[in-house]
Amino acid sequence: MKKVIYPGTFDPVTNGHIDIVKRAIELFDEVVVTVAKNPTKTCLFTVEERVEMLSECFREFSNVTVDWFDGLVVEHAKQLGAIGIIRGLRAVSDFEYEFQMALMNRNLADDITTILLMPHAKYTYLNSTIIRNLAQFKGDVSEFVPQVVEQRLKEKFSY
């Protein structure tokens, strides 16, 4: 059974993230979507809130689980018995960062492979920061996020 992890902050999860997971489950037996607890980032949602939203988004998928981690992603992958790390690649601008991370992760754990997946073209410009900014100013995010996320954003920004 081939298991991979898809790490990220997911603050919040977008339809682009969902698309990457759907692509990954076509290739692997199990995908673990894992929320990174990153002390250097100030997040809108708590780790628990992000896990809850992701769990709701993937409740229909028996081969997708959601958890969180604090530390090195390759160590988390090893603990879960994963063979790889899924990363989304939206544009050429993402490539340099992802390439450097993939090489470092290979150096730390050469038995864990980084797999770069591209989302559908309609999600290539989409990221969580854009969604947070749009929602903060009461913009319509319904096209870009699952309904549970749209509702949570409205609650966070009190509208």
Catalytic residues: 17, 41, 90, 128
**Cα–Cα distance list, 29 to 1, 22, 112, 117, 128 (Å):** 6, 12, 16, 16, 27
Separation between Cα atoms, residue 79 and residue 21, nearest integer Å? 20
Residue 80 neighbours by CB under 8 Å, 6+ apart: 3, 5, 32
Separation between Cα atoms, residue 123 and residue 157, nearest integer Å? 24
